Structure 1
Amino acid sequence: MIWLILSITTSSLLYVIFKYFEVFKVHTLHAIILNYIVACVTGFIAHGSVPEVEQIISADWLFYALFLGALFIFMFNIMALTSQKNGLSVAAVAGKMSLVIPVMAGFWLYEESIGWIKIAGILLALSSVYLTSVKSRDRLKFNTSLLVLPIILFIGSGVIDTTLKYVEKTHVLPGEEPLFSAMCFATAFVLGILILIYEATQKRFLTIKSLIAGIVLGIPNYYSIYFIIKTLKNGMESSVVYPINHVGTVLFTSLLGILLFKEKLIPKNYIGIVVAVAAILMIAF
């Protein structure tokens, strides 16, 4: 359970860091691309050494690391577009409700335990994600002409979580978690370089502020992935891990928003917090 708590903590810190990006006027795209190389180096340090090229090439999980790295950078852009075109609440709900995909995969592929209490808890978790994410008294509104964006975000986020579970279970050996995580981020950084080249052609260059922001973001970003893999590696079912991880992140992020940024909650948010606590208890116990 300690790995799951650490995963929730580091995932929540990412949202806080993004909020500070807004406060300090950081170029978010540049910082995120730089964060990938920082996360990669952090993984090598956690691994204890820089791996030999042969060790990486011969690894059973190499293809999945390349796939996930590409998906990381792609889904970041989809998340940004969804936030801009459909609104932040739509992006948050689409991303977090994707927990249903790895949960269903856990039931189907790994024959994980299932019961009415767990099913009810998962349904409550989905409800709580919506209730705590909406920041307006109005109903959640979709731009129907751009409905494809939240759909891609929903599916892509679910595919990332499901793939992490599959690779952890079938390809990543004990002790290889840091190296696997590092290579995922290395792939994302290599692809991010192409974006930086395009940015340079548009006269948008890297700054010291972006470099510092990338370092601050990269370390907790690495550990958010590392801790979730460790959680799965220690035998917890994915149908338990992902609902608690997603709901716990929403809860802790909301708490940090209140404490650090004096954010105001509407009645829906308070109801969502109560529902979230009930969902976590039902799923965990």
Structure 2
Amino acid sequence: MLFLSLSILLSVALLLNFRLFPRYEVNTFQAIVFNYPVCFLTGLLLLPAGQSFSIDLGQTWTWLALGLGVGFILTFLLSGASTQRMGITVTSLANNLSLVIPVCFSLFVFGAGGKSFDLFNYLGLALALVAVGLSTFKKERPVVSTEDQPKPRRLGAGVLLPVGVFLFYGATNTLINYMNIRYIPSADKTVQVTLTMVVGAIAAGFVMLTVRLLQGRETIQFRSLIGAVTLGVPNFLSFYTLLLALSQFGGNGAFVYPIYNIGVILLAALLASLFFQEALSTANKFGLALAILAIGLISWQELARVFGQ
């Protein structure tokens, strides 16, 4: 559970970065683009002794990893568009509920992990989905229309944006799990695969940044470079430890992803309450309590093994 716990902690560190960026006037888009070179340098430092990084375009997994890196950027942009068009609540729910996709693939397609799910495990999965929905639900304040405020736009195809967020997040997490099962035979190969994903994200990010610079929509800010460092190091390490956690549990995404998702939600809610005075509704509190129960049901065999020793 060490790598899974570290991944949860590091992922919450990412959320804290995003929460603090506006306070320090950091351009979030630029920080995200520049964070990937920082990720790459972090990964190089973690390469096992005697290994060097190279890209072999003759390997199938190389193209999958590069495509996954591009998928990271596209998913982020889709999330931003959905947040602006449909709101934070709907987008957050779509993001977190997407865990059902890698879980179902892990259970019924990959058959990974060597763990047979029983009734309590399946009940835990169902409760995890309910817990994620309740714990991330925020009642948005209605916007009062005035002559000085633009009238709300018709939603139209915008309703498809949360669906896209759900599918893209689910697809990227499923592909991560697949690559971990199929193309990472040992832990010492994890950094190589992860660095290749980062290369794809770097390429896509810099293409988009260049276009925005040429259009005059961006000017490089020094604060963004600082933000890229504070974002890039935990970003790489959170993903790296998540891959190690998947390897540790035999690629069992049905076990890892629910605990990872609700673990992030629980810790983030605690820190938000302590340091940012973010209030929790009754639904949020019930969802967090339900999340703890879901973790216990999903992992009761592992917990029994640990406490039985």
TM-score interval for Structure 1 and Structure 2 normalised by the shorter chain: over 0.9
Residue 194 (structure 1) shift:
1.1
Which residue of 181, 199, 205 corresponds with 1:192?
Answer: 205
Aligned identity (percent) is 29
Task: Write the letter of the residue equivalent to 1:164.
Answer: I
Moved over 4 A (4+): none
Aligned to 1:69: 69
What's the CA shift string for 1:158-177, capped at 9, x where partnerless? 11111111111111231011
Any residues of structure 2 matched to 1:152-231 within 5 Å, and which?
152-174=164-186, 175-203=188-216, 204-231=218-245
Residue 278 to residue 52, structure 1, CA distance change in 2 (3 Å): closer
Q: RMSD over aligned Cα, in angstroms?
A: 2.0
| Alpha-carbon distance change, 44 to 58 in structure 1, aligned in 2, over 3 angstroms | farther
Letter in 1 for 2:290: V
What is the CA distance between 1:51 and its match in structure 2? 3.0
- Find the counterpart in structure 1 of residue 145 from structure 2: none
Q: How far apart, CA to CA, are the structure 2 residues paired with 1:157 and 1:169?
A: 19
Distance 1:60 1:110 in 2: 18
CA distance in 1, matches of 2:232, 2:104: 30
- Which residue of 148, 169, 179 corresponds with 2:160? 148
Q: Does the 8 Å CA contact 2:44/2:53 hold for their aligned counterparts?
A: no
Matched, 1:106 2:118: no
**Equivalent position amino acid for 1:113 in 2:** S
Give me the whole-angstrom Cα distance separating, in 1, the residues matched to 2:213 and 2:140: 41
Q: Distance in 1 between matches of 2:93 and 2:7?
A: 19
Q: Is the 8 A contact 1:102 1:159 kept in 2?
A: yes
Measure, in 1, the Cα distance between the counterparts of 2:67 and 2:202. Answer: 13
Structure 1 match to 2:151: none
**CA distance in structure 1 between the aligned counterparts of 2:225 and 2:159, rounded to whole angstroms:** 34
1:44 is matched with 44
CA distance in 2, matches of 1:183, 1:214: 19
Task: Output the CA distance in 1 between the equivalents of 2:249 and 2:141.
Answer: 41
> Is the Cα contact below 8 Å between 2:53 and 2:192 reproduced in 1?
no
Distance in 1 (CA, whole Å) between partners of 2:17 and 2:26 is 10
Match of 1:95 in 2: 95
CA deviation after TM superposition for structure 1 residue 60, in Å: 5.0
Q: CA deviation at 1:249?
A: 0.7
Gaps of 5+ in 2: 143-154, 301-309
- In structure 1, C-alpha distance between the alignment counterparts of 2:46 and 2:210, rounded to whole Å: 30
Paired with 2:168 and 2:230, the residues of 1 have a C-alpha distance of 25
> Does the aligned pair in 2 maintain the 1:39–1:222 contact within 8 Å?
yes
Under a length normalisation based on structure 1, what TM-score does the superposition of the two structures give?
A: 0.93
CA drift of 1:78 comes to 0.4
The verdict on how the C-alpha distance between 1:120 and 1:65 changes in structure 2, with shifts beyond 3 A counting, is same
Say which structure is richer in helix: 1
> SS at the partner of 1:22?
coil
Whole-angstrom CA distance in 2 between matches of 1:240 and 1:77 = 28
Structure 1 unmatched runs, 5+: none
State the alpha-carbon separation in 2 of the partners of residues 210 and 72 from structure 1.
19
Out of 144-153 and 239-248, give the one that drifted further.
144-153
Aligned length: 282
Aligned to 2:22: 22
Tell me the residue number matched to 1:2: 2
Rg larger in 1 or in 2?
2
Partner of 1:244: 259
Query: Is the Cα contact below 8 Å between 1:42 and 1:182 reproduced in 2?
Result: no
